[in-house]
Structure 1
Amino acid sequence: MNSTTRKKVIGLTGNIGCGKSSVSNEFRKFGADIIDADIISRQIFEKKEVIDEINASFPKAVVNGRIDRKILGDIVFSDKKMLEKLNLITHKKILSIIKEKIKNSESNLVIVDAALLYEAGLENIVDKVIVVYCNEKLQIDRVMKRDKISREDALKRIKSQMNQQIKIDKSDFCIDNSGDIDELHNKVKNIVIKDDNWR
C-alpha cells in the first residue's frame, strides 16, 4: 500500500475497447478526481523535446512539425520493438506528471486511469488496482467502431497490449464491462461503498 499519502489512490486499467472511460465517469459521480494518462500522453506529444525524440526514432510519424498519432500508432502497433522504443520516450514523462497531479489533488479519492498501468510501472504509486475487461467479440467491435478501422487492425492493437487475463490476475478488483451502463454503475458502486477491502 502507498503510505506516503492519506488520500486513496486507485489505478484503473484495462485494454483498448474495454470501456475504462465509462468506468472513470462512474467513479467521477462518487467524487473521484480522475487523472487520465491518455490525455497526459496527448499533451506531452505537443512538447518540442518529445516531438524531437519521436522525430529521431519515428521520422515518418512527424508531419509538418507535429506528431501524427495515427501514423505513429500504425508503426508501433505492428512492431513490438517499436512500441517498446516509444514507451521508453513517453513513460517517464507521463509518470512524473501523474505523481505531481496526485500530490496536488484535493480529492480523497484519486483514480489514475491508464491502459498501460502495469507496463509503465504505475502500480507502484497506487494503493489498489482495478482492471476493466469485457468479452473479446465486444472488445473487437468497440475498437473497430471507435477508431474506424478493420478487424485486422483492431486485433493488432489489442494484441500489442498486455494479455487481458494477466491484468486480471494482477489486479485487486475486476469489473466486467460487457453489460449496459446501469450494470456498470452498480458494479462501481459496490466497490466504492460496499467492499470492505476498499477502505
Structure 2
Amino acid sequence: MLILGLTGGIGCGKSSLSNIFRKFNITIVDADIISRQIFDDKLLLEAVFKHFGRNIKKDDGTLDRKALGKIVFNDEEKLNELNNLTHPIIREKIISDIEEARKKGEKIVILDAAILVESGFLEIVDKLLVVTCKQEVQISRIQKRDNCSKQEALSRINSQMSQEEKSKYGDYIIDNSGTITELENKVYKFIEYMKENWRE
C-alpha cells in the first residue's frame, strides 16, 4: 500500500486537492481533523489546562481554541510545548487509521497534513505530494477566505515554512494557480501516473 503525504502552504488549495482525491474514493487520513478530535480525550484536555492555565477552559469544560491560539501562535516556545503534548497522540491516531486502511486492502492512502514536514510526520509516508501556487494567487485566496487585508495574508504566509522550502521535500509537485477544473485534470493525470508507476 502506498502512503502518500499531502501538504502545502496556506491558501495553496490543499483542501481542494484532498476533496478531489476523495471523489476518486481514495482514503484520506486528515491530520488537521485528528488534531481537533484528540481534545475529546479528557486526560489530554486536563494536561493542556494544567499547562496553559484555566483561562483556555470554556464554562462547559471544553477547550477555548481561540484563547489557546492566542497563547501559542505568538510564542514559539509555548507552541513547542503544545506540540510536545499533542503530537505523540496525533501520530498514534494517524498510524492507527493508516493500519485500518491497510487491513481493508486499500492500494493507496493519503495523509493530509498542513505541517507534515515540520511536525516530523514525513517518516510515516512513502512519497510526498506538495501543492503550490503563485504568491499573488495565494494572497488573494487568503484575503477572500479569511476576509483580511493583504498585510495580514502576507503575515500568515510568512509565519509558515515557505513554499520553496516545503517543495524541496516533495517527490511530486502540483501547481494550483489555476481553476478547480484544471486542478481536477492534474489530479486525474497524477492518479493515472501513480497507478502505472507505483510498485510496492
TM-score range normalised by the length of the shorter chain:
0.7 to 0.9
Show the counterpart of 1:181: 180
What RMSD, in angstroms, separates the aligned Cα atoms of the two structures?
A: 2.0
| Secondary structure of the corresponding residue to residue 175 of structure 1 | strand
Q: Is the 8 A contact 1:51 1:62 kept in 2?
A: no
Residue in 2 that maps onto 1:32: 26
Question: C-alpha deviations, 1:108-148, integer Å up to 9, x for none?
Answer: 11000001111222111111000112222322333333334
Q: Does 1:97 align with 2:93?
A: yes
> Any stretches of 5+ residues in structure 2 without a counterpart?
none
Structure 1 position 157 matched with structure 2 position 156: yes
For residues 37-186 of structure 1, the aligned pairs below 5 Å read: 37-59=31-53, 60-64=55-59, 65-105=61-101, 106=104, 107-186=106-185
Q: What is the distance in 2 between the residues matched to 1:76 and 1:95? A: 20
What number of residue pairs does the alignment pair up?
193
Aligned CA distance change for structure 1 residues 159 and 76 (closer, same or farther; 3 Å): farther
* Percentage of matched positions with identical amino acids: 49
**TM-score, normalised by the number of residues in structure 2:** 0.86
Are 2:17 and 1:23 aligned?
Answer: yes
Structure 1 counterpart SS, 2:109: strand
| C-alpha distance in 2 between matches for 1:173 and 1:34 | 18
Runs of 4 or more, structure 1, over 6 Å off, are none
Q: 1:80–1:160: 8 Å Cα contact kept in structure 2?
A: no
Name the CA distance, whole Å, in 2 between partners of 1:175 and 1:169: 13
Distance (Å, rounded) in 2 between the aligned partners of 1:116 and 1:42 = 14
Contact conserved, 1:77 with 1:157, CA < 8 A, in 2? no
SS at match of 1:78: coil
Task: Go from structure 1 to structure 2 and tell me whether the alpha carbon gap of 1:102 and 1:120 turns closer, same or farther (over 3 Å shift).
Answer: same
> Larger Rg: 1 or 2?
2
- 1:13: Cα distance to partner? 0.6
Structure-2 change in CA distance of 1:125 and 1:50 (3 Å):
same
More off after superposition, 127-136 vs 151-160 = 151-160
TM-score, normalized by length of structure 1?
Answer: 0.87
